[in-house]
Structures are given as structure tokens and as C-alpha cells.
Amino acid sequence: MADQTKLLKKEYTNWLRRKKKANGQPYSEGTVMQYVSALSTSPAKLSNIKLDTTNVFEIVDVIQYGNMRKAMEQAENFDLVNERTGNKAFQYSLVYYEDFLREQLGTETASNQQNEQLNTVKGDLVVHTFKNQMLDKNIILYGPPGTGKTYHTVLYAVSIIEGKPLNVILQEEEANGYSQINGRFEAYKANGQVVFTTFHQSYGYEEFIEGIKPRIVSEEITDSEIGEVAYEIVPGVFKSFCEAAEKPIVQPSNDYGIRKEPTIWKVSLGGSKENLVKRDCFNNNRIRIGWDTYGETLTEDTDYSQQGGKMILSRFMNEMRHGDIVLVLYDEETIDAIGVVTGDYKWLEEMQDYKRSREVNWLVKDIRENIMELNDNTVMTLGSVYRLNRIKLSDVLGILQRQQSSHVNSIIQKNNKNYVFIMDEINRGNISKIFGELITLIESSKRKGMSEEIMVKLPYSQEYFGVPSNVYLLATMNTADRSIARLDTALRRRFSFAEMMPNPDCLDPIEINGELLDLPKMLDSMNRRIEVLYDREHAVGHAYFFELYKEPTLEKLGRIFEHRIIPLLQEYFYDNYEKVRLVLSDNNKLKSEQFIVMSEVNVNELFGSMSDFDLEDTSTYTINRAAFSQIETYRKIYDYNSSK
């Protein structure tokens, strides 16, 4: 047994060396050994699961391994073990080992059956492109209307977020149904890991990245008259999403009391540098500020005209919340401590001055950390207490890690979850207007933390912005609106494409009122004619007919054709009814069976004497509503000789 596992491990190692990446290049020897090591050692580190063996190389049966892999991925510490292998090596190696077993150990039959299943899944998805790979960072699903593009964004998003190959999600859909996967999608959406937006002609940079927007001044703002219009810089939907994706995860039950989304405050303790007030605060786990002459309690009648401090006191006493983080000023560029607010405002009567206090837990103190760059090169010379809006929790995490704070990773952890930003109808928006200078930042190699990382200074907020590597962009494109060839060139270079064409195999023949109608053949016949008369990008999607299986009646079929199919064909052919008739095979039917009936018009008979006009006889077209209730009308779309 031991010799067999060693041999299998060696064969798997050599198989990885032969395997090519998406760009056609082989994996480096370091990456190969990282994958093998992760698969060898990580299973034993998983907790709260039962495995027949922790030595994966003892497993040679694909089905047995699939069950084992599923159990491992459900371990409560799977994400942590996976992260510690580096670059998700454990996760990827689990996938690759299954590929290895299928390819090397005589499972071609099972594999072929699986691939046949995948190629008939709803929509011509070109699944083979992504079959056993993790999905690209930027993907556009494109095709004619009714091919399930928006439907499949759910499958793609769940695949990305759960770190599973797309074929695994497709198999789950086949086994458990779409609603089960959609339920997970909705949960991720509610958790903020998925955002769905639709592009349109008026969509712009201000909605997508950031812009300046007006608002009415409210009571808590004292710099302007109440009711006046003030202007503020508001982040757009994509910028907000990226900020959420890189926001560190705060452990909910951490001993230091940090809340889920803490505000970062700058606090001066008795001024700058070393002083008695600061030393007292460090020794007694608190922060203190002054303005003692106002007394312990402040009211609406408190007169601030002489000494000021109204906003500072309001922030310290009322706005600062339990779990917020305070950075303590050392000098205008440097901080010397980081703490967490744990108590309410207190008045320290026993102190000689600086009587207003709040309890804190110090994470680090007596340090020297320059935060000028994090603070957008702005010195800390404002009031004693104010929000550091430019500094994020991830920045604080970085400082704590540099200070080698031993407890930081148990409190605040890097966000390694995947996030999916879905852009529906991407080709309807003006890409240059929406993305602006940030179009380069979405490239995989230009993401934050990558070797070619690029950060851009935003024009309004003057903040530096980059796209996190855990953000995936997923878009849909209706080729009936615009050909992919006319899509913005800069966008095309930065996205991979998955074509989704009508797939008649998704449909089954259906019995309506005791009569059999071959829906797949009918759809195929219409689309072959459209391709000849127009092009393949203006086909009719299979999804238009799914509702018919819930209500298999002539009335339902008639509504589909009258209100969806025929209006779509009218739009495609710009009311050229002769071509619409050809698509519907009306030229091969009796007049009573035609959807669109042509009538000759004798202009002399219609207009009488027209000595001053030279009009030729013409034709008019009318919708024959009686045809929608005849089964033969639909049969003759694909079978000219059909008859009752």
C-alpha cells in the first residue's frame, strides 16, 4: 500500500509538470511542489470532519475521492488551512487531483458521460473553456436575447465565490435544481459579496466610481446654515464594492472589543510627544481630553463662543462608539499608539485637568509609525478628536502587523473571500465614460497586491484607488443590441468571453391539447432562417419557451408568439414583414394558418383618379390572431407538409 501511494504521488507530480496554464505555459517547479505538498499535508489539519484516510494518495476511485473532497471542503477551518498553503494551493490541488484520477486511471467513460451532460446544460455555454479551471477575473457572457445570460450569472457567481470549478456548480444544478444554487447566490448578495447593476446610456463615472452630489444641510452640521445646499464627494457603486472587498474581517467575539465596521479616530492626549496625560492614559487604559470649564454635562445652552470645541466634544462624548479604533498623535506625521474604545464617556473628578475620559484597550503603544502617506500626505494638525476618513481598517491591520502585534491575526484577518460585481447589459453603457482612467486597473496583473499593481489618484476625493485581487467582474451582453466586434476595444482586451447561443437541446417536444409539437425543431428552423436573412447574433433564445412547460396550452403558446417572438422579429427586420413571414414559414401555409397575412392593394381602386400621382400597387400586412390558436400554424414552421 505504501509503495502504491508513493507511486501515485510521483505520477501526480509528473502530471502537474506536464500540465499547462491558461496561457499555455507550464507551472513552475516551485508551484508544482507547493500543490503536491498542500495535498499531502493539509487534509490532516482539517477539523470536525471524518475521513477514511488523510492520505489522499491512497484514493484511486474517482467517486470515493469526490465524496472525500466534498467533506474536506466543508471543514470549518478549510479556508484557514487553504490560506496557509499560500495562493490557495490546497484548493487548486484538490481540483487537479480529481482531473488526474479521471485522466490517468481509466475513468474516460465516466468523464465522457459527465462532459456530455455539461454540453447539454441550459444554454450553449462553451463550458469546455472553463470546465476544470477557476474562472477568469473578468468575464462577459454574450449572445442573443433569451439564451439565459442573466440566469447563468448566478451559476458563475456562486462558482467564483465558493472557489469551485464551474462544472461542479453545473453538476449541482443538475442534481439539486437551480433554486438551491440561487438561494446561495441570494445569501451572498445579502452578505455584500455580490452586487448587481445594469448599465444604460445615462450611466456615468459619478455613479460607478465617485462624484460630487448635493444634499441639504441638517442639524448636526454647524458650518453652514440649516437647510442650505452643501456638496459632498460620494463613492460610486464599484468603488464602494471594492472597499468592502478589501475590508479586513473582524472576529465577532474578539477580546479587544473591536466592532465589525469601526470608525478610525485621531486623538491627541495632552498634546504631542511624550507628556503626563498621555502616560496616564497608557498606564490606565483610557483616553482623556479637556475643556473642563464647561463642566461635566453639556446642554443646548452651553456657550462655546469663548473657547470653542463644540464639535470635538460632540465627537468624543456622543459620536465615538464602543469598538471604534483610536490612533494617538505623537507629532503631525506620526502616531505612537493604537487602541479600541471600550467604555462610555466619564467625568474624572479626581483628575486635576483633562477630566473627560473613555476607557480603551491598547493594541500597541509607545510605537513610532508615520501615517502621512496613508493620510494622503495630510498632517494631523486639526482638532483633538476627528475621523481619519482616509485611513481604513486594512491600513490599521498593516500597521499592527508591522509592529508584530502577536494578537492581531486573532482579531483582524485579511479578507480572502471572493466578491463578484455583475454588470448587466454592459454594451448599453459608454465604457469610456463609466470606467474613465480606471479601465487599466481591472486587469488581473494590475490588481492590488499583484506584481504590476497600479494605484490611481481619483480626481474628486484625491484618494489612491486600486482594484483588489479578490474582486471578479462578470458582465452580460446582448448581441442583438450591439455586435461584440463593435464593443469598446479597451474593454475587449481586458475581458474573456463566453458565448451563449440558443440551444434547442434545452427544449423537449411538448404535447399541447393532445397534439405533439417539436419545440427544438421549431426553434432550430427559425434560427437557421434568421442566420441566412440577418446573422447569427439575432437569433431567438430557447428561454422564451420555458414557461410553456408550466402551462402547456395553445393560449400560452399564442401569447408567447404574439407578444414576444413576433415583436422581436419585427425589431430585428425593421418591419420588413416579408422576412418575418419567411422566418415563420408563412409562405408555405394556407392563408388561414399564416401569422402575418399579406394583402395586395390596388391603388387606383383605393384612391380613385390620381392624374397628378404615380403610385404603384403595393401590399399591406396584418397580424392574423386566429392563427395563434391553431397547432398546425406552429408545426408548419418546421414541417411544410404537416396536416391534421
Distance CA 294, CA 312 (A): 13
The rounded percent of the chain whose pLDDT value lies above 70 is 88
Cα 609 off chain centre by: 68
Asked if the model's pLDDT at residue 156 lies above 90, the reply is yes
Determine how many CB atoms are found less than 10 A away from the CB of residue 368: 10
pLDDT of amino acid 114: 38
Cα 527 off chain centre by: 33
Distance CA 434, CA 200 (A): 10
Residues 390-413, mean pLDDT to the nearest whole number:
76
Helix (H, G, I), strand (E, B) or coil at 480: coil
Asked if the model's pLDDT at residue 124 lies above 70, the reply is no
Any idea which residue has 396584418 for its cell? 622
Asked if the model's pLDDT at residue 225 lies above 70, the reply is no
pLDDT of amino acid 233: 84
Q: Closest by alpha carbon to 150, among 406, 422, 347? A: 422
The rounded percent of the chain whose pLDDT value lies above 90 is 37
pLDDT band at 107; cut points 50, 70, 90 = very low
Four-residue CA torsion sign, 247, 253, 256, 262: positive
CA dihedral 103, 107, 113, 117 (to 10 degrees): -50
Distance CA 359, CA 257 (A): 11
For the stretch 568-619, pLDDT in tens is: 999 999 878 999 999 999 999 999 999 999 988 877 778 877 767 777 767 8
| E strand residue ranges, 332-418 | 334-341, 346-347, 356-370, 385-387, 412-413
* Bridging pattern class, strands 419-424 and 194-198: parallel
Burial class (CB in 10 A: 0-12, 13-18, 19+), 92: buried
Asked if the model's pLDDT at residue 27 lies above 90, the reply is no
Asked if the model's pLDDT at residue 127 lies above 60, the reply is no
Helix then strand then coil, in percent of the chain rounded to 5, is 45, 20, 40
**Residue pair 93/132 in contact by the 8 Å Cβ criterion:** no
Residue 553 DSSP one-character state = S
Query: For the ranges 165-174, 212-221, 493-502, 536-545, which has the lowest average pLDDT?
Result: 212-221
Q: From the options 3.40.50.300, 3.30.70.20, 3.40.50.150, 3.40.640.10, give the CATH code of 124-246+415-501.
A: 3.40.50.300
Mean pLDDT of the chain: 84
Asked if the model's pLDDT at residue 43 lies above 70, the reply is yes
Asked if the model's pLDDT at residue 396 lies above 70, the reply is yes
For the stretch 433-471, pLDDT in tens is: 888 888 888 988 888 888 788 889 888 888 888 999 999
pLDDT band at 422; cut points 50, 70, 90 = very high
Asked if the model's pLDDT at residue 59 lies above 60, the reply is yes
Residues 459-484, mean pLDDT to the nearest whole number:
85
Residues 199-222, mean pLDDT to the nearest whole number:
75
Residues 310-335, mean pLDDT to the nearest whole number:
92
Residues 94-122, mean pLDDT to the nearest whole number:
54
pLDDT band at 3; cut points 50, 70, 90 = low
Residues 524-548, mean pLDDT to the nearest whole number:
92
Cell of 323: 469598538
Q: What's the half-sphere exposure (Cβ side, CA atoms, 13 Å) at 124?
A: 15
Q: Which residues pair with 620 in a beta bridge?
A: 599
For the stretch 361-390, pLDDT in tens is: 998 999 999 998 888 788 887 688 999 888
pLDDT of amino acid 221: 41
Cell of 409: 491575526
Cell of 419: 466578491
One-letter amino acid at 480 equals A
Asked if the model's pLDDT at residue 126 lies above 70, the reply is no
Q: Where are the domains of the chain?
A: 1-106, 124-246+415-501, 253-413, 504-635
Is 115 or 43 the better-scoring residue by pLDDT?
A: 43
pLDDT band at 394; cut points 50, 70, 90 = confident
Cell of 602: 390596388
Residue 285 DSSP one-character state = T
| Residue length of the chain | 644
Asked if the model's pLDDT at residue 123 lies above 50, the reply is no
**Residue pair 67/74 in contact by the 8 Å Cβ criterion:** no
Cell of 640: 411544410
pLDDT band at 115; cut points 50, 70, 90 = very low
Asked if the model's pLDDT at residue 222 lies above 50, the reply is no
CATH architecture under which domain 253-413 falls:
Roll (3.10)
Cell of 363: 493594541
